[in-house]
Chains A and B, each alone.
Chain A
Amino acid sequence: MASKVIQALYNDDDVLMHAVKKVRAEHHHIEEVYTPFPVHGLDKAMGLADTRIAITSFLYGCLGLTVAIVMMNYIMIEDWPQDIGGKPSFSYLENMPAFVPIMFELTVFFAAHLMVITFYLRSRMWPFKKAENPDKRTTDDHFLMEIGLNDNENELADLLWETGAVEVKVTEKES
């Protein structure tokens, strides 16, 4: 089903921030805001929920640490406890200092890479993905706010002009 949206373009991030606050105060639902660079505080103004990606990263780190410990315990202690240069391979704890560099690196490796992959999946980014860009200018120097329409076109357009938009247009959107 195709639905109608109204798009307002701004050319200043300060003006955009005020517009977002005003539109939210009027209880209109902002579907999306497109900006060429991160606008500090925009997520708070839009009322977006905090990201949980740090928590996933912590869990991935724990997984990496576990993998490192289980792997080295099996290889170095259980499977073939060879005497290599007099290092005590009797138990994991006795030889642990030698394993710490790998434990550390695998923790960081898992935490970093799996978090990045999580980010790609959650934000739907991959090679050959079709760009979802309503207006080319938003990658350079314009900011675009998009609001869903339910038969209140004129009222919304007036509001958006009032907030300092440089351009307001109504388009069909595939959803």
Chain B
Amino acid sequence: MYTFSNKLRLGSFIAMGLGFIFLVIGFMSAPSTVEEAKAMVAVHDDGHGGGHAEAATEAHGDQGHGEQASHGGEHDASHDEHLLHQLQNRPWSALYVAAFFFFMISLGVLAFYAIQRAAQAGWSPLLFRVMEGITAYLVPGGIIVFVILLLSVLHMNHMFVWMDSEVVAHDELLQGKAGYLNPTFFLIRAAIFLGGWIFYRQYSRKLSLAQDESDDNTNFVKNFRWSAGFLVFYLVTESMMSWDWIMSVDPHWFSTLFGWYVFASMFVSGITVIAMVTVYLKSKGYLEDVNDSHVHDLAKFMFGISIFWTYLWFAQFMLIWYANIPEEVTYYVARFQDYKLPFFGMLALNFVFPLLVLMNSDYKRINWFVIMTGIVVLFGHYLDIFNMIMPATVGDQWFIGLPEIGGILFFGGLFVYWVFTALTKAPLQPKRNPFIEESRHFHY
């Protein structure tokens, strides 16, 4: 049995506390009126100007005045309103990105777990309890994401513009999509997705524990069938979830392979976390039978799925870049103009780094290499979600500051606390899985 180390528990509490404080500061400092928003941006600009030569600042200021004068007063007001909404969205988006990121890790692990069961893999049964521990976060994580979506429907924020009936009234495109994108149906869908995923997770865990105590393999066979069924359900719901929860922040834009793209991101993050938790538990002496070859296999998956993610990222990007149809390409124009560093930085972190580091077979067996690459890959995929949500909700007002770091700390702490608590609930090695002997002697 695993015992939750006090240091790790304290660390997770500290992270949660700090993250909570940062998030509260983020929400408190969001402007509530147009004047405050303008003042905030002005202060920000001054801060920038201080670094430049004075003449440049003056010239910049003059230009700004000239532009303002040339615009009509009405346009100016709508611009200010837009700015206010962007600044108000920032803490919400930071919260949402972090909440979704950690939720998607456990969902990715659940998909990996179901695949291992449905494929009757011989190497992975030793790691089933680790995966079940990570998917335990699906319950609180899913509920938190659902609550954030519910608050959006209740107009606590402006992340999803199609939820605003006034916006829809002036937008024919959104009226055309209202049959799918309407708040009630949106929440019903979210409830069905989460209900299905959580049901499979809890039921499969129950069967997995029952298999340990029984004297035949009926639980194992049942689990195999449910896993195969879940994968069908998951593929459909995951795709729809990505349209609902992520693509709909840009409701004028659409992409057909978006669901796969989000899937690749969650799958590789999930596998990375499995590898990192496995290496951690092994280093503490809890997973004696897990050997280099298991770590090597997980690292191979990290490597392969990282490249799969890049393939989908590029397939989506290049098709849109090549055809350059205005209604599609705005999505990338916004990211090219305002998000250069996170957009291309994530490509380096998620593709170039794992490609070069994890190509060598020997390196995949070195634990600290796997952990280091894992940290880079996870940060890269946080940026990936960041790049999906932020351009539509906060636009050029983005920054990785207190609310964003607070979100990562809070949900990271919660994730660690929940996952490692779940790991203490059952022995880390399944007792009588039919493949457990093969898994113990797995050697590559």
Contact = CB atoms under 8 A, between A and B. Distances in A.
Nearest to B311: A104
Summarize A's interface: helix, strand, loop or mixed: helix
A100 B359 CA distance: 20
Interface string B307-335: 00000001001100110100000000000
A58 interface: yes
A93 to B, nearest CB: 11
B328 to A, nearest CB: 14
The number of chain B residues touching the other chain, given as a range, is under 10
Contact of B322 (A54, A58, A97): A97
10 contacts: A54-B361, A86-B324, A97-B314, A97-B317, A97-B321, A97-B322, A98-B318, A98-B322, A100-B314, A100-B318
B303 to A, nearest CB: 14
Contacts of B317: 97
B304 to A, nearest CB: 15
A54 B318 CA distance: 30
Nearest to B317: A97
A55 to B, nearest CB: 9
Interface of B: 314, 317-318, 321-322, 324, 359, 361
Interface string A91-107: 00000011010000000
Given A97-B318, A98-B322, A100-B318, 9 more contacts: A54-B361, A58-B359, A86-B324, A97-B314, A97-B317, A97-B321, A97-B322, A98-B318, A100-B314
Interface string A126-167: 000000000000000000000000000000000000000000
The size bracket of the interface on A is: under 10
Nearest to A40: B443
Nearest to A58: B359
Nearest to B321: A97
A58 B314 CA distance: 22
A91 to B, nearest CB: 15
B324 to A, nearest CB: 7
Contacts of B322: 97-98
A24 B314 CA distance: 53
A37 B318 CA distance: 45
> Which 5 residue pairs of A and B lie closest in terms of their CB atoms, listed nearest first?
A97-B318, A97-B321, A98-B322, A100-B314, A100-B318
A65 to B, nearest CB: 12
B352 to A, nearest CB: 13
A97 B361 CA distance: 30
A63 B275 CA distance: 33
A36 to B, nearest CB: 24
Contacts of A100: 314, 318
A54 B322 CA distance: 35
A54 B364 CA distance: 15
Contacts of A98: 318, 322
Nearest to B324: A86
Nearest to A98: B322
A124 B318 CA distance: 44
A54 B362 CA distance: 12
Contacts of B359: 58
A15 to B, nearest CB: 21
Interface string A50-89: 0000100010000000000000000000000000001000
A61 B324 CA distance: 31
A97 B321 CA distance: 8
Nearest to B319: A97
Nearest to A101: B318
